[in-house]
Amino acid sequence: MKYKPDTPYHVKLFLCEVKTEVIKGAAKKTVSETGKAVYCSFRTFGGTEKTVNGLISVEDTAVVETWYRPDINSGSVFRDMSGKTYEVIGTPENIEMANRVLKFKIRAIKGGV
């Protein structure tokens, strides 16, 4: 049975290039300001609640679904139209292993990469 997306891919995200260099023994990541346009569905569901030191906070997360691209992986970083930066959480799921659709979760990066 072929998987059919529920929602149209009309949200534009930019897949940014991430470079890692070691400076004085510490890895430093830099993210390019621009990237390749990726059209996708973007659903936030209000974020994800998590408890840190007994305090409840809401982490800015979203579920993204897009056409299959082999360059999207667990280390990928995206920017939206407003400039907000997101990182992929976990490994993107290749739906039905058909190389047609990817589904993954992202979270907002705060305070730099």
Give the pLDDT band (50/70/90) at residue 15. very high
This model's pTM is above 0.85: no
DSSP-derived pairing of the beta strands 61-67 and 26-43 = antiparallel
Residue 1, pLDDT score: 65
pLDDT tens digits, residue range 21-79?
898 889 888 888 888 999 999 998 877 888 888 888 888 899 999 999 999 999 899 99
pLDDT tens digits, residue range 70-103?
999 998 999 999 889 999 999 999 999 999 999 9
DSSP string, the chain: -----SS---EEEEEEEEEEEEETTEEEEEEEEEEEEEEEEEE-TT-EEEEETTEEEEE-EEEEEEE--TT--TT-EEE-TT--EEEEEEEEEEGGGSSSEEEEEEEE--S--
